[in-house]
Every structure is written in structure tokens, then in C-alpha cells.
Structure 1
Amino acid sequence: MSDGPFTAEPTDTREKIMHATFRALREYGYAGLSIQRIADEAGLSKSSFYHFYDGKDDLLLSFMEFMYGQFGSGFDIRFSDDPVEDLRRHAQLMVAGPMDEDVAGDIIDTVPGEVPPDAPIREKNAMERGPLVEVRAQGVNEPAFRERFTDIDAAFRGTFADIIERGIIEGVFREVDATQVADMLVTIGMGTIFRGATSTFDREAAMAEVDAYVEERLLADDVTLD
């Protein structure tokens, strides 16, 4: 089993570099990250990196593409035919994160064969989310990072909006602006990612508040949460 949040060994040099980038970010942070340190983690020569990437920022943008593929692998899945349960499951993924082994285990049991066998299942939230938060912070000053994270947020928002629209059609959700409500759920989820990486907080209480938001904002009058 590979080090870091990955449950499978890298299959090629690019994946090896991605895994090494995660470990280097976790150890040194963005400020201390260098191509040489990533090369050392990967067991490759520094010159070999420039066959794949133009520099540090190019590498990190590719890293975000890779990590989105990893962390998003369990998110864009239809768990059931019940939009209410589907929305709660996806909200739970945003708040708890697929790195929590019990949550990920439930997902894999729910939709066997749909979650890739190498999808990350992790236990140490702060340790594993920290590198992603550090890279995301570069969006403050770097337009390329801001654009990429805008796209990532839009993908998560699209999943929520699709579920909400399905619930409206089926009559279990109120007639709301699905994109607007979905954006709020993504905002809540991203907030918990930052908090999970930088502080300790009550994740179960956060999920209870998400349920309260869904019940108050979305559920039709004759529908209740189980």
C-alpha cells in the first residue's frame, strides 16, 4: 500500500510524481515545496520532472486535476432513487469527506463496483486535507489556480443541483433555485474542509445543521427526514 491517502501504488511515472507531490506538500507545505523535494520523495532525478511539467505551478495544477479525480470519485454517484437520501449522502461526503473510513465504507457497500478500488479511504482528516487546502490558498493571488478551483466547485455544485432538480420534479423538494441552494451546500462543505484541515470541530453537529438546512429550505411540507 502506498504512503499518503492513496490505497493503491502508482501505475506510472506521472502517478508516482503525484503521490510524491502529496507527501512533499504534507511534509513541507507550499512554501517549502520544491521540485527537488518532490523528486526526492519520488525517487526520481530532478531533470526527469521537466519531461512532464514546465515548473512548480504547472505541476501543482496537474496535481489538482489528479486529486480531484481521486477525491471526486465517490461524489458523482447516484446512491439511490430517493433524492432526499441522495442529497443527504452527498452532503455527508462534503462535510465528513470520503477520507473517513466509515463513510467511505458505507458508500462502497451502497454502490459496489461504482467506486474505484483505489479511491482514497483515509482516517486522519487534518493530515490528508492540509495539502489540498494549501494549494487551494494559491487561488488568492494566482488566476490559474482560481480558475481551476472555480471549475472544481462548479462540478460539485452541478451534482447537488441535479439531485435537487430531480427532487423538485418528484415533488419531495420545494420549488427553489436548485443552483443557488446547491452553491450554499458546496460553501458549507468547503468550509468544513478548511476547518478540518486547520482546527478541531464537531463534525456531527455540522452534519445535523446541514440536515436542518435541507429540512427547512428544501423539503416539501409532507416530507420528513428519516
Structure 2
Amino acid sequence: MEATYDAISDTGYSDLTIQDIADEFDRSKTLIYYHYDGREELLVDFLDYVMKQFRTMLPDSTESPQEELETLVDTLLPTTIDEEPFQVMLAMFELRVNAPYDTNCREQYRAVEDELNTLLVDILSRGVEMGEFENIDPEIEAELFVSLLIGTRARRLTVYDPKESITSLKEALQYHIDRITATPEGNA
């Protein structure tokens, strides 16, 4: 998986071959084919690998719900990105585009979205219970946030250069967070 990460960082998704991965791997190309029928099957496992790493970066409940939500936005949508992580994020986006044609890929993305949704429901529910968020429906808001985050990430990857700031996009998400945040007089 690390060899795949390195190969994607160097060549990107569209030009990536098993040979590129083998060149980064300290074992033979034959071993890769022993475990995988081809590039797409390997990339579905790579998606799982990347998602497991991503999960370790998610906020924990030691922060306030609003801070957790803001940390999640910052984690998913860095304002600027170095070239190497950008190439990997772009490859994951390109892999997502294949999901309608690849059941395994679609299931992997659905699992990721379900996990993200569950995390958001938890954050938003705790925020409502603590009076930090308005009396919103956490499940509906979570669905909205999943869509906003995925859509914003797609825009980030497709219309902005890696070093170009997406401050305006993040300000729009912060505006929504501020809208659902309870006002001090609403807590009284």
C-alpha cells in the first residue's frame, strides 16, 4: 500500500500501472498479481488503506462539538495542499468516479460516507444536547454536511490548484456551522 501511495504521488491515477507500483515495491510485480487481478482491484484495497489512515486524523470527543465539526472540516478540506497529498487525494477522487461501474469501489465509498455520517450525527447530537447547536435534526444535518464536504472536496480537487487557497469555500462551510450554532441568549 505504501508503494501504491508513492506511485500515485509520482504518476497520478490515470497513468498509474502495476509496473509503477512494482517499481516502488521491494518485491516482484508477480507478487502483486498473486494478490490482485489488476490495478482497479488493488486500488480498492488502497482506498481502504487510505481511509484507515484518514480515520486516525478525525477529531475525538475531547473537543466541544463545534470544535470537532470545525476540525473535521479542516481535516477534509485543507486550505492549501502540498503536491504529493494532492495527487493521492486526486487519485481517490478519480477512483470515486469509477464507483458507478465498480461495485467494490462503490461499497467502499458508501462505507466511508456511512462512517462520516455516523461521526457527524454523533457530533451534532452531542452539540444539540449540550445546547451548543440549535434544535436541529442531527441526521438531516449530517446528510447535508456529508454532501457539502464531498462536493467541496470535489471542487477543491477539480478547479483549484493544490497551493491555491480555498478560504472562500471554507468560509461558506463555517457560515453554515455558525448558523446552526446556538446563540448565547438561545441557551438561557
Q: Give the TM-score taking structure 2 as reference length.
A: 0.83
- Cα distance in structure 1, aligned partners of 2:116 and 2:169: 19
Residue 42 (structure 2) aligned to one of 41, 46, 59: 59
- Cα distance in structure 2, aligned partners of 1:181 and 1:87: 12
CA RMSD of superposed structures (Å)? 2.4
Asked if 2 retains the 8 angstrom alpha-carbon contact of 1:29 and 1:134, the reply is no
Deviation at 1:79, TM superposition (A): 4.0
Q: How does 1:43-82 map to 2 (within 5 A)?
A: 43-80=26-63, 82=64
- Cα distance in structure 2, aligned partners of 1:181 and 1:71: 22
Asked if 1 retains the 8 angstrom alpha-carbon contact of 2:59 and 2:68, the reply is no
Q: Deviations over 1:1-39 (max 9, x none)?
A: xxxxxxxxxxxxxxxxx1221233344444433222211
Residue 97 (structure 2) aligned to one of 126, 137, 149: 137
**Which residue in the other structure is 1:209 paired with?**
172
- Cα distance in structure 2, aligned partners of 1:46 and 1:149: 27
Asked if 2 retains the 8 angstrom alpha-carbon contact of 1:68 and 1:152, the reply is yes
**Which residue in the other structure is 2:82 paired with?**
123
Moved more, 127-136 or 193-202: 193-202
**Is 1:89 paired with 2:63?**
no
**Shift in CA distance, 84/223, structure 1 to aligned 2, threshold 3 Å:** farther
**Shift in CA distance, 123/30, structure 1 to aligned 2, threshold 3 Å:** closer
- Cα distance in structure 2, aligned partners of 1:51 and 1:128: 24
- Cα distance in structure 1, aligned partners of 2:87 and 2:20: 19
**Which residue in the other structure is 1:39 paired with?**
22
Asked if 1 retains the 8 angstrom alpha-carbon contact of 2:8 and 2:91, the reply is yes
Asked if 2 retains the 8 angstrom alpha-carbon contact of 1:126 and 1:198, the reply is no
Q: Deviations over 1:87-144 (max 9, x none)?
A: 22222222227xx6xxxxxxxxxxxxxxxxxxxxx63353342222122221132122
**Shift in CA distance, 94/183, structure 1 to aligned 2, threshold 3 Å:** farther
Moved more, 183-192 or 49-58: 49-58
**Structure 1: tracts of 5 or more residues without a match:** 1-17, 101-121
Deviation at 1:83, TM superposition (A): 1.7
- Cα distance in structure 2, aligned partners of 1:183 and 1:223: 28
**Which residue in the other structure is 1:5 paired with?**
none
- Cα distance in structure 1, aligned partners of 2:156 and 2:137: 29
Residue 148 (structure 2) aligned to one of 164, 188, 201: 188
Q: Deviations over 1:31-70 (max 9, x none)?
A: 4332222112214211111343343232111101100011
**Structure 2: tracts of 5 or more residues without a match:** none
Amino acid at match of 1:156: L
Asked if 2 retains the 8 angstrom alpha-carbon contact of 1:91 and 1:185, the reply is no
**Which residue in the other structure is 1:178 paired with?**
138
